[in-house]
Chain A
């Protein structure tokens, strides 16, 4: 059993973790009826992608990517800084998306006085 699991799960636990988070996010998106919970599902999904990028920057024994005279010019001893830079941008995008989504939810709640998808569909059909 462990021989089977070793290469799939234990060596690649970061991937397994990403997939788990993605599934949790997708579950929230599809199954939850409350629009706020859908939004939270979406955020978890985005966070999973961000963590996926960050974990591939990691190097065992690597240090902060600032030139250090005691370490020298050896790229294999520094953590890859690029994914962090990229994900900083992705986080900004994610914040902006959440902001727009929340503004839309305020708009919906003002108009229909509910954030439950079923009740909302009911009211949409009636109007």
Chain B
């Protein structure tokens, strides 16, 4: 095996893993979970190997079927891709480790199928971040979306309705993307990203039309305000494992596609100077942060509150993309990893609480912090990071966002980030207060979650803090090289 074949290995391992899970599940259902975890672990190992390879030798290309690009489809692993691949596989591994009891409870008798579809979902996501071909990206996008609809529908009794809405919106988003791609293909005659970036004429009307359509399509998938309506329902009614798997990475990968296409294919000057696309994304995201945070305050269901806060937190990434300065984009990328870890941690805690108490109403959480000390220590770390207090990852991503805004004289970003953090603080401090200070007698028999469930939660809680402490390492190792052409982080 040569190192240049590493990019294809992640999707292949996931595909083989999914098939193996289905086949062995027929004979011994108990093996399905172990096999899925092993698959995710090997994918994480491959992602690390790929990251080392890209760090030392630069972008790795792999021509599928031996057809050389731009004619054939190629997989490209550059710094931006491996950064997202590490997030996807890392989150997937941590969710999988403790998934068995929750999956068995939420989807009794169907856990084999659940694990197989989860692996297909990850296959789609890893394909999206690795591919260098725009149509191939559409196919991977639909693979991941279709499995996401299925995973969402595995939840409570309302999950079917939520999944159907998600399906309609997601398909319209993908169709808009495909329509924009049709315009691009008709003027350039190519589907390869690098090739298209060279052949594009940013002034041509079909290209501009395509840019708008692709942005709308991906905006629907990424749940940018006002296209976010599907998200709270989908995340609330999906089973807890499905939410913990989908919520941290699905919208992030849509953000990746947006960054890849806007900055790498269209070019920074076209989307921020020739056309006000970046500005539109920025202002819609600002509205999204405010609306999402305000709606989160009004919720009484823990999962729904976190779902609305997802709308807000993903919009921070949108603000970073919209500002289109090197530091703001670095902030957006840093927020990808910090929000993925903290949101995954929070949703896993919701799953653990549901597992131990069978309830997820905010009111029933009184005093639970003392019954499940480890789980809620991690929960507190993640909540502090959501608010954006130092030294957590959430603080530094917003810090870079503010720096990036100030670099271009956008001083309102400072006030905006402060105000939005206050809104977030409103609902998280209220929650933390009831978790730790109030007493409740009904909670007497509640015990700490089993080790396999609690361990990933604690690791994620630690990761949230570590990403804050070592944010400059992440910046040096990944983000400097991940910047699109024309944007350079100075200093």
Footprint of B on A, CB under 8 Å?
22, 29, 35, 38-39, 42, 45-46, 49, 52-53, 56, 83, 86, 89-90, 93, 96-97, 100-101, 104-105, 107-108, 111-112, 120, 124, 127
Contacts and interface: CB of A to CB of B under 8 A. Distances in A.
B175 interface: yes
A42 B168 contact: yes
B185 interface: yes
A90 B146 contact: no
**Helix, strand, loop or mixed for chain B's interface?**
helix
Interface stretch (B103-111, B156-164, B272-280): B156-164
B164 A108 contact: yes
A35 B164 contact: yes
Interface in B112-170: 135, 138-139, 142, 146, 149-150, 153, 157-158, 160-161, 163-164, 167-168
A54 to B, nearest CB: 10
Given A29-B168, A100-B150, A107-B160, A56 B186 contact: yes
Contacts of B168: 29, 38-39, 42, 101
A49 B217 CA distance: 13
10 contacts: A42-B171, A42-B172, A46-B171, A52-B182, A56-B186, A93-B146, A97-B146, A97-B167, A101-B168, A108-B161
B179 interface: yes
B149 A100 contact: yes
A97 B171 contact: yes
Given A52-B182, A93-B138, 6 more contacts: A38-B168, A49-B175, A90-B178, A93-B174, A96-B142, A105-B164
A101 B160 contact: no
Contact of A124 (B135, B161, B172): B161
B146 A104 contact: no
A46 B175 contact: yes
A35 to B, nearest CB: 7
Given A46-B171, A89-B139, A101 B164 contact: yes
Contacts of B163: 104
A104 B172 CA distance: 17
Contacts, number: 71
Contacts of A124: 158, 161
A45 B178 CA distance: 11
A27 B186 CA distance: 27
Interface of B: 135, 138-139, 142, 146, 149-150, 153, 157-158, 160-161, 163-164, 167-168, 171-172, 174-175, 178-179, 182, 185-186, 191
Nearest to B163: A104
B175 A104 contact: no
A120 B160 CA distance: 12
B175 A45 contact: yes
7 A-B pairs with least C-beta separation? A107-B160, A93-B142, A104-B164, A108-B160, A56-B186, A49-B179, A49-B178
A72 to B, nearest CB: 21
Contacts of B174: 93
Contacts of A38: 168
A11 to B, nearest CB: 15
A26 B87 CA distance: 35
Nearest to B159: A107
A101 B168 CA distance: 8
B294 to A, nearest CB: 22
A96 B153 CA distance: 16
B161 A96 contact: no
B297 to A, nearest CB: 22
A39 B179 CA distance: 19
A97 B179 CA distance: 17
Nearest to A35: B164
Contacts of A83: 185
Contacts of A107: 153, 160
Contacts of A35: 164
B192 to A, nearest CB: 12
A100 B167 contact: yes
B209 to A, nearest CB: 11
Contacts of A111: 157, 160
Contacts of B171: 42, 45-46, 97
B142 A86 contact: no
B157 A104 contact: no
B160 A104 contact: yes
A30 to B, nearest CB: 10
A61 to B, nearest CB: 19
A4 B417 CA distance: 51
Contacts of A97: 142, 146, 167, 171
A46 B174 CA distance: 9
Contact of B139 (A22, A29, A93, A120): A93
Contacts of B186: 56
A104 to B, nearest CB: 5
Nearest to A104: B164
A39 B164 CA distance: 9
